[in-house]
C-alpha cells in the first residue's frame, strides 16, 4: 500500500498541473476577423500576412505567435511596445495611406498596411 502512495501523489500532481495550464491558456482571447477587423500573426519567419489591403476604419490586431518578443512599429504612427508570446496589439486605421512597419527588435521583419476608402 505504501508503494502506491507516491504513484498516487504523482498522478494527482499531474492532473492538477494540467488543469492550471488549461486555465492559463483559456484566459487569452482569440482575435477574430470580420469585414472591419484583420489579424496579423507574428512568427519567427515574419508578419503573416506581411501585406494587408484594408478599408478605412478597419482594426488590425497583431498577435505574437513566436516564443521570442517582437514589436509592430511604424515610426511616428503606432508602436505596439514589446509583445511577448500570446500578447496582442490593436490599431484602428482611420486615415487612408500606406503604413510601413517593422519589428524594432528584428529589423528584417517588415510589413505594410495599405488603407483605402
Q: What values do phi and psi take at 66, rounded to 5? A: -105, 155
More confident residue, 35 or 46: 46
Residue 62: inside a domain: yes
The pLDDT value recorded for residue 32 is: 66
Q: What is the mean pLDDT of residues 68-97?
A: 98
Provide the domain count of the chain: 1
Residue 4: inside a domain: no
**Per-residue exposure over 62-97, b if at least 16 CB sit within 10 Å of its own CB, e if not:** bbbebeebbbbbbeeebebeebeeebbbebebeeee
Residue 59 domain boundaries: 37-116
Its pTM surpasses 0.75: no
Contact 89, 83 (CB under 8 A): yes
CATH number of the structural domain spanning residue 70: 2.60.40.420
Band of residue 22 on the pLDDT scale cut at 50, 70, 90: very low
Q: Using one digit for the tens of pLDDT, what is the confidence trace for 40-82?
A: 999 999 999 999 999 999 999 999 999 999 999 999 999 999 9
Residue 101: inside a domain: yes
Amino acid at each position: 500500500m505504501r508503494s502506491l502512495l507516491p504513484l498516487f501523489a504523482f498522478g494527482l500532481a499531474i492532473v492538477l498541473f494540467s488543469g492550471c495550464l488549461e486555465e492559463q491558456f483559456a484566459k487569452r482571447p482569440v482575435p477574430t476577423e470580420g469585414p472591419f477587423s484583420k489579424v496579423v500573426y507574428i512568427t519567427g519567419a515574419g508578419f503573416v500576412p506581411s501585406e494587408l489591403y484594408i478599408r478605412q476604419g478597419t482594426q488590425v490586431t497583431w498577435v505574437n505567435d513566436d516564443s521570442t518578443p517582437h514589436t509592430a512599429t511604424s515610426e511616428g504612427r503606432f508602436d505596439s511596445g514589446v509583445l511577448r508570446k500570446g500578447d496582442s496589439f490593436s490599431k484602428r486605421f482611420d486615415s487612408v495611406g500606406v503604413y510601413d512597419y517593422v519589428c524594432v527588435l528584428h529589423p528584417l521583419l517588415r510589413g505594410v498596411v495599405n488603407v483605402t476608402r
